[in-house]
Amino acid sequence: GVEAHMYASQWFLTLFTAKFPLHVVFPILDLFLLDGMDTIFQVALALLSISKKDLLALDFEGVLKYFRVSLPKKFRTEENGKYLLRTAVAIKLKKLKKYEKEYQIWKESTKVENPIDRLEKENKRLVDSTLRLEQENDDLAQELLTTCNSKIRLRADLDKVEDKADTLSTELLTTRSLLVDVEDEKRRLEDEVKCLKEMCRRELERAESEIGRNTRIITEYKQICSQLQSRFESEQSSARESLAKVLDKVRDCDRCGPLVDDTRVSIGGNEMNGGDSGADGVDGSATGLSNHFHQKIAELESELVKSKVALVESECRNEELILQLNSAQTEISQMRAQNDESKNTWLSKTLSSIRDVATKPSATVTAKTPTTAGDQYSNHSSIASTPMSRDVSRDFANT
């Protein structure tokens, strides 16, 4: 349906000056001044022959767009412009002259033709043109209707997409707000966990220091008991040696001899029966040593009681810390369920290790520390092997 007047009229009216570059227009004008109207036909035929393959591959709209846009762009370079001019000059116009003669004959025949026949032919041609235009109009109306329906459908789809976009934007804002709240809560819980860790660490260090102090006290107590035992045995042996020497010297006396024998019998009987009179016969320093030993044991017992009370308090604090750690771990687990992106598996392991470390020192101290003063005293039962140690142990048990 492409006709010559749709694209060639501009060429003939402007001599190709409207679309083509100047390095093509100037030679065309020179040829036009030299050869006349034939130059216009030669250039037009050259353009059509060069673009033949491209034009045959396009539809109606594509052909019109090609003549309007693509064809002038092909000759922007001087090389292509020269090729166009060489092609135009090489075209012979013998057929054009033949067509001119046929046109002149047709024109003369129309002059002598009956006006009625000529008008009928013209009317028939106009009717055919009218039918063709009506058909094109119907096609364009159908295409317009289809385009309107498509536009309506696209508008409805666009409205749905816009509504969905608004919904998604609202959900996105809500999710971002929730994410900010969750992150704030996460940071708060992390700060609390750090504080709990620091508190637990301080309490553990304090408990360990108390355990070490209690251990040192027990060790010192054992050393003191061992030293007192050694001192008591040395004093007892020296007292017995001195007494034996005195008795040996007094034994030769007629008046003191029987008294010496009675004293030996009394000392032997007291040792066999477990009495306390042997210790009373020694020098008065033994009584002072016993009192000092008894006082030292009482002081150590008081220290042990204080240590056990402090240990119980530390255990209570450890239990409170464990409860706080469990509560924090539960809250963190709930936050993990709400926000899958904030999974931190190391936190539960750290809390479990802290809880294990917090429970171990209590059991260790309980196993190492005697429960009563009697148990503390039973660890040193070797002291009771002498009459003085038995007296001290009996007084300590009564207290």
The tens digit of pLDDT for each residue in 313-370 reads: 777 777 777 777 777 667 766 766 666 555 455 555 555 666 666 665 444 434 444 4
Residues 92 and 204 in one domain: no
Residues 380 and 238 in one domain: yes
Q: How far is CA 355 from the centre of its chain?
A: 26
How far is CA 193 from each of CA 190, 321, 327, 352, rounded to the nearest angstrom? Answer: 5, 11, 10, 13
Is the pLDDT at 194 greater than 70, yes or no? Answer: yes
Number of domain units in the chain: 2
**Residue 388 pLDDT:** 42
Residues 49 and 181 in one domain: no
CB neighbours (10 Å) of residue 85? Answer: 18
Q: How far is CA 268 from the centre of its chain?
A: 87
Residues 106 and 200 in one domain: no
Query: The tokens of 39 are what?
Result: 């130059």
Q: How far is residue 298's CA from residue 399's CA, in Å, rounded to a whole number? A: 9
Domain presence at residue 40 = yes
Is the pLDDT at 385 greater than 60, yes or no? Answer: no
Residues 196 and 285 in one domain: yes
User: Concatenated DSSP letters for 48-82?
Assistant: HHHTHHHHHTS-HHHHHHIIIIIHHHTT-SHHHHH
Structural domain boundaries, residue 278: 175-398
Residues 183 and 319 in one domain: yes
**DSSP-derived secondary structure letter, 254:** T
Which of 58, 87, 112 marks a domain boundary? 112
Q: How far is residue 376's CA from residue 297's CA, in Å, rounded to a whole number? A: 10
Is the pLDDT at 275 greater than 70, yes or no? Answer: no
Residues 97 and 180 in one domain: no
CB 27 within 8 A of CB 72: no
Is the pLDDT at 136 greater than 80, yes or no? Answer: yes
**Residue 393 pLDDT:** 42
Domain presence at residue 219 = yes
Residues 183 and 296 in one domain: yes
Handedness of CA 15, 18, 23, 26 (dihedral sign): positive
Which of 112, 137, 164 marks a domain boundary? 112
Which of 58, 93, 112 marks a domain boundary? 112
160 exposure class (CB count in 10 Å sphere: 0-12, 13-18, 19+): exposed
Is the pLDDT at 378 greater than 70, yes or no? Answer: no
Domain presence at residue 253 = yes
Q: In sequence order, which ranges of the chain are alpha helices (DSSP H)?
A: 8-14, 22-35, 38-50, 52-56, 60-65, 71-73, 78-90, 94-112, 115-250, 257-273, 277-281, 285-338, 345-368, 373-378, 387-398
For residue 38, give the CATH number of its domain.
Answer: 1.10.472.80
Could you report the per-residue pLDDT of 253-272, keeping only the tens digit for each? 666 666 555 555 454 444 44
Is the pLDDT at 35 greater than 50, yes or no? Answer: yes
Domain presence at residue 186 = yes
Domain presence at residue 80 = yes
Q: How far is residue 361's CA from residue 207's CA, in Å, rounded to a whole number? A: 7
Closest CA to 45 of 12, 102, 91, 105: 91
Lowest mean pLDDT among 4-18, 199-213, 353-367: 353-367
Higher pLDDT, 218 or 268: 218
Query: The tokens of 86 are what?
Result: 């060489």
Residues 105 and 223 in one domain: no
Higher pLDDT, 22 or 327: 22
Q: How far is residue 191's CA from residue 185's CA, in Å, rounded to a whole number? A: 10
**Residue 137 pLDDT:** 92
Residues 209 and 318 in one domain: yes
Residues 180 and 312 in one domain: yes
Domain presence at residue 129 = no
pLDDT band of residue 146 (cuts 50, 70, 90) is very high
Q: How far is residue 219's CA from residue 215's CA, in Å, rounded to a whole number? A: 6
pLDDT band of residue 55 (cuts 50, 70, 90) is confident
**Residue 135 pLDDT:** 92
Is the pLDDT at 157 greater than 90, yes or no? Answer: yes
Domain presence at residue 167 = no
Mean pLDDT of the chain: 76
- For helices 78-90 and 38-50, give the axis angle rounded to 10 degrees: 120
Domain presence at residue 164 = no
Residues 196 and 318 in one domain: yes
